[in-house]
Chain A
């Protein structure tokens, strides 16, 4: 009977252990969704390994006598192939036993390739297991780092190279009672080619509207919602400005900026003919650098949406079909945040919290370290980000003592927790929440982190969190890619240095590659 099955059920490390334990001879073929390859065994020890990327390199050496340097190259290629194959977690495998040592593979004469004594499987598996753990630790560090995103000024975006608003014959009236928003967002709008005027209050904005419209200027209004009205009897001055604009010019473009949008406010915006809402970053105000960075990222979203609106994609007028504002906003926000994942060093934890906070009132991110879920960062509606994160960092949950966390780790799937039947871990207060959801962030198919989401302020049931799940899966992949890129850079450095002479460079001990050692 051959050993065959799916990698999802039995990963390569486990298969290697089984073949080594059984001391079998034969060929293990792996056909993964992201790559393929084979490993040749004799009496349970590894003689050679091929992967999609190494086969083209080693194939020309098939059947040839190998000098020392080529033998070393082959040793390296075995390691590269095994690394690639171990990272495959989806696909099929089959171990085909043979009586004699395999001598051919895919038509290649591989006799000269085979490591004479084979590779000690215990050493090999420890090394591979350590590499996987190192990659996981790197990603943990990435999650724990919260460096602010680099400012767009430092590296001009493609949008900056071709200002999207430069050809729009319109004056953008930007209104916010927060001067920093006016300054930074206004600056970005101008850099995008827009003609911008600003107003710091509802009264000032209404006055400016009158002036601009009397000179027959086309206006695109971009306004904050939460500010005092001109009379001071309401704190939704943004709506007052939009209403006034629509009275004066019903077809004018209007866009809202807000930190959050209640159902009632959303309905009011619809009735006023607002087609787009952009969520402002409200989460990092205590850190000036991060807040500026977030505001500039936010301005990018705003410019993109404004550009689309001004291109005739509806600017208001209260058309027949009214889009689902919330759906559109969440979708756009997710798209922007997913793009930001391309730079995971910008602070993936912060990105996850920002996305999570669009779906629920409280989000807490935990890092799984051994058998403990350690609080890393948090956000809660109505509380300062710093306070929430400081509180999150006091949390340390033993997986065995709060089973839902352990369930997430073992099942690698989301777990819903009823607060009415499940006692919460120390330090987490349910408040009004009656349920919570634990979402896994997977790294190499293992749970690296867990995000707790619930609604302690209102006690509302949790909605559809599929967008958040999708973002977490993208975040996991971004970290895997970052880890892979670091490995590739290490390889590149090593080969470029080797070409210049002996190995005298300083390499990280964990990255240093030595010739494959035979079984002693």
Chain B
């Protein structure tokens, strides 16, 4: 898989993350992760414009993702009271610290490689 494909927003990736924003520490889950941003699923999403520090352990012993980001949109119970049960915020990465970009690419490539095993046509009806 090329690096360009990793910039696509992937669907159901779920990675647990520790976050800090305005001196508040909380936990959430990153989904739709790419190298440019992610959706942060959390019950109390931070406000649009807030800066975030994100830390998340990637699976398969790849290591820790450390990133800084900014909230670009927000889905809360106030602005979507009847809607989706998944509350959270869209986060654009502003900085991938240390070797985080390489780790993230490795993770997305590994994921796509596994998904690629399902690319062939099914043999059963």
A binds B: yes
Q: How far is the CB of B121 from the nearest CB of chain A, in Å? A: 8
- Pairwise interchain contact B18-A126, C-beta atoms closer than 8 A: no
Instruction: Given A98-B122, A100-B125, A122-B86, decide whether A129 and B111 contact each other with a Cβ distance below 8 A.
Output: no
A17 at the interface (CB under 8 A from B): yes
Specify which chain B residues have a CB less than 8 angstroms from the CB of A122 in the assembled complex. Answer: 11-12, 14, 31, 86
Q: How far is the CB of B106 from the nearest CB of chain A, in Å? A: 14
- Pairwise interchain contact B14-A125, C-beta atoms closer than 8 A: yes
Contact of A370 among B55, B86, B117 (CB under 8 A): B55
Specify which chain B residues have a CB less than 8 angstroms from the CB of A2 in the assembled complex. Answer: 117-118
Q: How far is the CB of A284 from the nearest CB of chain B, in Å? A: 33
A106-139 interface mask toward B, CB cutoff 8 Å, 1 = contact, 0 = none? 0000000000000001110110011001000000
- Pairwise interchain contact B111-A18, C-beta atoms closer than 8 A: yes
Interface locus among B44-52, B58-66, B70-78: B58-66
Instruction: Given A10-B114, A97-B122, A126-B86, decide whether A371 and B55 contact each other with a Cβ distance below 8 A.
Output: yes
Within 8 A of A (CB), among B1-47: 10-14, 16, 18, 27, 29, 31, 41
Q: How far is the CB of B120 from the nearest CB of chain A, in Å? A: 5
Q: How far is the CB of B15 from the nearest CB of chain A, in Å? A: 9
Instruction: Given A18-B114, A126-B41, decide whether A517 and B85 contact each other with a Cβ distance below 8 A.
Output: yes
Cα separation A21 to B16 with both chains bound (whole Å): 18
Within 8 A of A (CB), among B69-95: 84-86
- Pairwise interchain contact A371-B64, C-beta atoms closer than 8 A: yes
Cα separation A99 to B32 with both chains bound (whole Å): 27
Specify which chain A residues have a CB less than 8 angstroms from the CB of B120 in the assembled complex. Answer: 1, 97
Instruction: Given A18-B118, A97-B122, A122-B31, decide whether A370 and B18 contact each other with a Cβ distance below 8 A.
Output: yes
Q: How far is the CB of A370 from the nearest CB of chain B, in Å? A: 4
- Pairwise interchain contact A98-B125, C-beta atoms closer than 8 A: yes
Cα separation A461 to B29 with both chains bound (whole Å): 43
Specify which chain B residues have a CB less than 8 angstroms from the CB of A121 in the assembled complex. Answer: 11-12
- Pairwise interchain contact B118-A370, C-beta atoms closer than 8 A: no
- Pairwise interchain contact A99-B124, C-beta atoms closer than 8 A: yes
Specify which chain A residues have a CB less than 8 angstroms from the CB of B102 in the assembled complex. Answer: none
- Pairwise interchain contact B14-A22, C-beta atoms closer than 8 A: no
Cα separation A14 to B112 with both chains bound (whole Å): 12
Specify which chain B residues have a CB less than 8 angstroms from the CB of A26 in the assembled complex. Answer: 122, 124
Instruction: Given A17-B111, A98-B122, A100-B125, decide whether A126 and B117 contact each other with a Cβ distance below 8 A.
Output: no
A206 at the interface (CB under 8 A from B): no
Q: How far is the CB of A70 from the nearest CB of chain B, in Å? A: 24
- Pairwise interchain contact A3-B114, C-beta atoms closer than 8 A: yes
- Pairwise interchain contact A21-B64, C-beta atoms closer than 8 A: no
- Pairwise interchain contact B115-A18, C-beta atoms closer than 8 A: yes
A141 at the interface (CB under 8 A from B): no
- Pairwise interchain contact B14-A126, C-beta atoms closer than 8 A: yes
Which residue of B is nearest A371, CB measured? B55
Specify which chain B residues have a CB less than 8 angstroms from the CB of A3 in the assembled complex. Answer: 114, 117-118
Q: How far is the CB of A511 from the nearest CB of chain B, in Å? A: 16
A20 at the interface (CB under 8 A from B): yes
Q: List 10 other contacts, CB 8 Å, given A17-B14, A18-B118, A371-B18.
A: A1-B117, A1-B118, A17-B12, A21-B12, A25-B122, A26-B124, A97-B122, A126-B29, A133-B27, A400-B64
Q: List 21 A-B contacts (CB under 8 A).
A: A1-B120, A2-B118, A14-B59, A17-B111, A18-B111, A18-B115, A20-B12, A21-B12, A21-B115, A24-B118, A97-B120, A99-B125, A121-B11, A122-B11, A123-B84, A126-B29, A371-B18, A371-B57, A409-B57, A410-B61, A410-B63
Chain B residues at the A interface, C-beta cutoff of 8 Å: 10-14, 16, 18, 27, 29, 31, 41, 55, 57, 59, 61, 63-64, 84-86, 111, 114-115, 117-120, 122-125
7 shortest A-B CB distances, which residue pairs? A97-B122, A370-B18, A22-B118, A22-B115, A20-B12, A121-B12, A122-B12
